[in-house]
């Protein structure tokens, strides 16, 4: 019976592997866009989708983009606090809480992916652009997508947990 002792209720830290993969894809895709496109240059892909290089110094949907340097540090500190909180939450999760584990891992990856940009570049590289005719949704990136998918999974987990509790 050798080996490492098992930690009672070792949580869902295994989901950190998903976080690592998403962070890698996010950073790789942003560097590819930076090497390939000039700022504001776009590549038409579909009637409703473009690849465009955009720099976001603000928050989601470019809020606070025109502000001086405070958003960079404020959002970096916020992302760091949220990231630590998410890792602690993952560590304390029950082993069977897979949907919640995946949701937290995706949100964690998105937060870290964007904070890497903020600290390294002073802005976040966005490049996915959805539009309908002349109406354009603000550009986003893989990290933003991970946060959105993670939030949807978080809501779905809460809904399913509520139904399970009501059925008990």
Report the catalytic residues: 126, 144
- 30 vs 144: CA distance, rounded Å: 12
Burial (CB < 10 A; 0-12, 13-18, 19+), residue 159, is exposed
> CA dihedral defined by 32, 34, 38, 40, rounded to 10 degrees?
100
- 54 vs 76: CA distance, rounded Å: 19
Length reported for the chain:
168
User: Alpha helix locations (H) across the chain?
Assistant: 16-36, 70-92, 98-121, 142-167
- 37 vs 109: CA distance, rounded Å: 24
């Amino acid at each position: 019976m050798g080996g490492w002792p098992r930690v009672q209720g070792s949580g869902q830290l295994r989901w950190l592997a998903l976080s690592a993969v998403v962070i890698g894809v996010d950073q790789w895709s942003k560097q590819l866009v930076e090497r390939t496109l000039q700022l504001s240059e776009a590549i038409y892909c579909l009637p409703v989708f473009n690849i465009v290089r955009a720099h976001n110094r603000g928050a989601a949907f470019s809020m606070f983009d025109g502000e001086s340097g405070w958003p960079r540090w404020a959002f970096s500190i916020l992302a760091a606090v949220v990231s630590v909180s998410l890792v602690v939450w993952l560590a304390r999760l029950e082993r069977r809480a897979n949907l919640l584990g995946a949701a937290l891992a995706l949100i964690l990856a998105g937060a870290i992916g964007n904070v890497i940009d903020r600290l390294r570049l002073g802005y976040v590289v966005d490049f996915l652009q959805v539009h309908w005719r002349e109406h354009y949704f603000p550009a986003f990136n893989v990290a933003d997508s991970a946060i959105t998918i993670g939030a949807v999974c978080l809501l779905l987990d809460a809904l399913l947990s509520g139904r399970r509790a009501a059925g008990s």
